[in-house]
Amino acid sequence: MMRKNYTFCFFLGAMLCATSLHAQSMLEQLGEPDSLNISLLGDPNAEDYGAVPYGANHLLFASNRNTSATSPKDPVTNTPFPSLYLMRISDRRVTRYPGNTAINQLKYYVGPGALLPDSSAIIMSHSRQKPDSNGDIKMTLSEISFSGNPTKELPFIEQSFNYIHPFFDPESYTLYFASDFEHIGDYDIYRSTLSFDGVWSLPVSVPLVNSTSSEVFPTLLPNQTIGFSRSSRNYGLQLYALELGDSIAQILSINGRGDDMGLLQLNDTTLMAAQSKRKGSVANFNFYSPLSKTKSLALTTEVIDSADNEIIATLDSDENTEGSANAKNNQVVSTEDNGGVNGSKTSSGKISWVTVHEPPTSTNRGFSLIVGGFIEKQLAYQYLDRISNDWAPEAFLARYNDKYYVVHSIHSTRSEADMAKAAVNNKGNRAWILRSGLRKL
């Protein structure tokens, strides 16, 4: 019997602002989360991580999605070993990475990997294929050729230590990576430059980045800004950024409880990061874009019939309407406000809603704190059951605009709703406000 594999894609906030930022950098914009459009993409049954650029329009990442009961598992964590996947940046479509014979023969942990700018080879992080004298299987970095040359470990690798999370800067021809070779078990970030004659320099510690804690998942953003994650006592990995000319790395406000990692700038208006799954969350990858201040309110749901019976939903909001929606098979669709009335159909078959002043028959006056939105009722109930037994004991299900919303609470004023939203978000969960008091099913 085939197992259904649902993949969710959330679109929150107004439509993507197409203009680039001028007065504020993208990192500064992250400090103002209320001005951001946040979209999430992932598989609720898997962990996605380690996304790095792969050519001009793709990201390569590791994931244990699409596994089965017979898939090889880590004997310590009992979770399936990851495989490699490609995400197309333009539409965020995810496909399995084909690799080559050398990559596909690797066992245990494989990835992330950093493609060289000329596409001649990839620097792959992977498990060594045999344990050491203590029975431990270390992680290493290998240069795997796409032109038939033999695979080789990077020349500075020492067998007793781990080497992970490669990121290659095409401008400086410099590889950034994390390793514990100076502090066993505690990772620092290093860099090594590849000369034009194929010689790697000895790795050096990246200045102003490393500390007494572990630093991992290095990335490079525009203007030589270094992104990385640092371990913390209570909150897992936390994202930091060190901008050129600064002497202290700044912690980012988008961090939550659990691990935050892999900060990337995809274009002039979009940043991306990964988060480990919190209880009740269904996606790892977060995309951050500035809100357009001129867009009108819109809530759009699109159903597409296909051979795979794909269901796609998109939810847009601004200061008055906020929420979440789910999608299947990593599909992303554009949204549009047709300027029509509540519930009108566009010529393309989309159904668009706009906020009205009078509450619909299924609502009361007030403000709903929304923590989930689904097209399928069964998925909504599963999510409700999960959070009701954990952090939202008073949550209930409501039907609104042909969707099933999981409502955390109802509030009589916007200020009360804002305080409740902050309390939910500060605990590492996500909530949005809908300017209607939804009624329980």
CB burial of residue 199 (10 Å; 0-12, 13-18, 19+): exposed
Report pLDDT for 154. Answer: 97
Report pLDDT for 362. Answer: 54
Q: Which stretches does DSSP call E strand in 73-158? A: 83-88, 93-96, 110-115, 121-127, 139-145, 152-153
d(CA 302, CA 313): 5
Report pLDDT for 391. Answer: 86
d(CA 370, CA 432): 5
- pLDDT tens for the chain, 441 residues: list them: 333 343 444 333 333 333 333 334 777 777 776 677 888 888 888 889 999 999 989 999 999 998 888 888 988 888 899 999 999 999 999 999 999 999 999 989 998 999 999 899 999 999 998 888 787 889 999 999 998 899 999 999 999 899 999 999 998 999 999 999 887 669 999 999 998 788 999 999 999 999 999 999 999 999 899 999 999 987 889 999 999 889 999 999 888 778 999 999 998 889 999 988 776 677 889 899 887 654 433 333 333 233 333 322 333 333 333 333 333 333 333 333 333 333 444 444 433 333 334 444 555 678 888 888 777 788 888 888 888 888 888 999 998 877 788 899 999 888 888 888 888 877 777 777 887 788 898
Report pLDDT for 35. Answer: 72
CB burial of residue 78 (10 Å; 0-12, 13-18, 19+): exposed
Report pLDDT for 97. Answer: 95
Fold equal for 17-290 and 299-438: no
The CA-atom distances, in angstroms, between 314 and each of 4, 249, 334, 345 are: 21, 36, 8, 15
Report pLDDT for 124. Answer: 96
DSSP, res 203: P
d(CA 321, CA 307): 33
Report pLDDT for 435. Answer: 76
Report pLDDT for 4. Answer: 37
Q: How many CB atoms lie within 10 A of CB 83?
A: 19
Look at residues 328, 305, 387 and name the one whose alpha carbon lies nearest to residue 43: 328
Report pLDDT for 302. Answer: 32
d(CA 198, CA 113): 18
Q: What is the pLDDT of residues 44-72, one digit of tens each?
A: 888 899 999 999 899 999 999 988 888 88
Q: Which CATH number fits domain 17-290: 2.120.10, 2.60.40, 3.30.450, 1.20.120?
A: 2.120.10
Q: Which stretches does DSSP call E strand in 333-417? A: 344-345, 351-353, 363-364, 367-374, 396-400, 403-411
CATH number of 299-438: 3.30.70.1070
Q: Which residue matches tokens 């809908």? A: 434
Q: What are the domain boundaries of the chain?
A: 17-290, 299-438
Please tell me the total number of residues recorded for the chain in this structure: 441
The answer to whether 206 touches 191, Cβ cutoff 8 Å, is yes
Report pLDDT for 352. Answer: 36
Report pLDDT for 410. Answer: 92
Report pLDDT for 134. Answer: 80
pTM exceeds 0.75, yes or no? no
**Pairing verdict, β 58-63 and 48-53:** antiparallel
- At 402 the three-state DSSP class reads coil
Report pLDDT for 33. Answer: 60
Q: What is the pLDDT of residues 285-326, one digit of tens each?
A: 989 988 765 443 333 333 323 333 332 233 333 333 333 333
